[in-house]
Amino acid sequence: DAGITQSPRYKITETGRQVTLMCHQTWSHSYMFWYRQDLGHGLRLIYYSAAADITDKGEVPDGYVVSRSKTENFPLTLESATRSQTSVYFCASSEGLGNTDTQYFGPGTRLTVL
C-alpha cells in the first residue's frame, strides 16, 4: 500500500550501540524529514533532505547521522545511542516548496535506550 512507513515500530537498545531507523515513502516526494517527539518539546527537527544526496541539519542533529542515496529511503542512524535519545521518532515527506509543502508523517518508531 502506498504511503510512508517506518521500521522498526519499537526498539529497545543499550547505551553505546548503533541503531538505524528506517523510513520509506512511495510517493517520490523530494523532501524527507526526521523528527523526535518528547514530552514538553513537541516535535523537533533532527535532519532533513531536499533530494537524494542532499541533507542538512535541523534543530537537534547531534548524535545522529543520515543518508539519502535513493529518493524513497531516508535512514536515521544513532552512532552511539545515549539515554537522552530515548524518544519517539517520526519520519515525514513532502513534495517541496510552495503549495505542495504539506508534510505527511509515518507512524513513528518508539526507541528506548537502556
CB of residue 13 vs another protein: minimum separation in angstroms? 20
Please, which of residues 59-88 interact with another protein by CB under 8 A? none
Q: What is the dihedral of CA 30, 98, 94, 56, to 10 degrees?
A: 60
Nine-digit cell at 35?
A: 523528527
- Read out DSSP for 21-85? EEEEESS--SEEEEEEEETTTEEEEEEEEEETTEEEE-S--TTEEE--SSTTB--EEESS--GGG
- State which of residues 11, 58, 73, 86 lies at the interface with another protein (CB under 8 A): 58
Among 17, 41, 70, 83, binds another protein (CB under 8 A): 41
8 counts as binding another protein under rule CB under 8 A = no
47 lies in the binding site for another protein (CB under 8 A) = no
Q: Where does this chain bind another protein (CB under 8 A)?
A: 31, 33, 35, 40-45, 48, 50, 56, 58, 90, 92, 94, 96-97, 99, 101-108
